[in-house]
């Protein structure tokens, strides 16, 4: 069969079965900005059956140095509508569900729904911690990624691995208008998409308990082994919630 998936179906980790498996999966992507652009693009192109996109923001001109889902013509439009349109042009065989909402403690559970994997593409630590907590409670793997300037990181949250709070991230660290080089957001978002596809396929070794850091200035990657903090309040709350 010749179709758009030919070159990836040829991989031992995918094949006919893996391709069918991807078509049945649902991924929630929280944030359709600098990280969300590569994540949504690659997941759509790979043939993930349902993409749920959560984004409340409007396209601004300052987004265009990195958020390649949008063009100058989209400035002033809702990102959710513009992203859905672009993704439908890339792959009409998948379903793109849009939730035009800001993720909060109150709505996070509903927005995440019963996704197989959540990819966290947020620029705000407080919302990331909410995503981690809901997903630990619901046993949904999260692919975290973040960027600042020339630097970025990726970590998969789930199983016995740590969450962002275990690593010392705190809502008080939230910063507005973080400087970002578009290409660095592209590196990190592409890694998040690859990790998400690995988890969906059950292939390879996802980055659970392994923090991958990218330093674009020196052009180096570092892998740091990270462990769950037994005193982590987020983990404790999420695990207490599981028993209810
Ligand atoms: Zn934790």
CA of 223 to the centre of ligand 1 (A): 19
- Could you tell me the pLDDT band of residue 216, with boundaries at 50, 70 and 90? very high
> Is the pLDDT assigned to residue 2 strictly greater than 80?
no
User: Which residues sit with Cβ closer than 5 angstroms to ligand 1, an ion?
Assistant: 163, 165-166, 232, 234-235
Q: Where are the domains of the chain?
A: 6-243
The CATH class for the domain spanning 6-243 reads alpha beta
CA of 167 to the centre of ligand 1 (A): 7
CA of 227 to the centre of ligand 1 (A): 9
CA of 136 to the centre of ligand 1 (A): 9
pLDDT in tens, 159-168: 999 999 999 9
User: Is 54 in contact with 27 (CB distance < 8 Å)?
Assistant: no
CA of 75 to the centre of ligand 1 (A): 38
CA 235 vs CA 41, 136, 137, 140: distances in Å:
31, 7, 8, 14
3-class DSSP state for residue 9? helix
Collect all residues with Cβ–Cβ distance below 8 Å to 48 and sequence separation of at least 6.
Answer: 22, 23, 25, 26, 27, 94, 197, 200
Q: How far is CA 204 from the centre of its chain?
A: 18
**pTM of the shown model:** 0.97
CA of 129 to the centre of ligand 1 (A): 9
Pairwise CA distance, residues 102 & 51, whole Å: 17
pLDDT at 243: 55
CA of 224 to the centre of ligand 1 (A): 16
pLDDT at 177: 84
CA of 242 to the centre of ligand 1 (A): 14
pLDDT in tens, 44-91: 999 999 999 999 999 999 999 999 999 999 999 999 999 999 999 999
């Amino acid at each position: 069969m010749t179709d758009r998936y030919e070159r990836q179906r040829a991989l031992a980790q995918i094949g006919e079965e893996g391709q069918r498996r991807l078509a049945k999966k649902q991924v929630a992507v929280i944030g359709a900005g600098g990280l969300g652009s590569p994540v949504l693009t690659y997941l759509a192109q790979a043939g993930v059956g349902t993409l749920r996109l959560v984004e409340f923001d409007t396209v601004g001109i300052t987004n265009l140095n990195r958020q390649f889902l949008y063009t100058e013509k989209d400035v002033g439009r809702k990102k959710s509508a513009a992203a859905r349109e672009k993704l439908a042009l890339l792959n009409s065989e998948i379903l793109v569900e849009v939730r035009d909402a800001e993720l909060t403690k109150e709505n996070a559970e509903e927005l995440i729904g019963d996704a197989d994997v959540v990819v966290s593409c947020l620029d705000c630590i407080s919302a990331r911690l909410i995503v981690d907590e809901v997903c630990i409670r619901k046993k949904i793997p999260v692919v975290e990624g973040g960027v600042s300037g020339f630097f970025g990181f990726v970590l998969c949250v789930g199983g016995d691995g740590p969450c962002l709070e275990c690593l010392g991230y705190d809502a008080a660290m939230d910063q507005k208008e973080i400087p970002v080089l578009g290409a660095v957001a592209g590196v990190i978002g592409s890694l998040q998409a690859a990790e998400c596809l690995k988890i969906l396929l059950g292939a390879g070794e996802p980055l659970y308990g392994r923090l991958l850091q990218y330093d674009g200035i020196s052009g180096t990657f570092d892998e740091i082994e990270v462990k769950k903090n037994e005193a982590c309040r987020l983990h404790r709350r999420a695990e207490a919630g599981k028993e209810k």
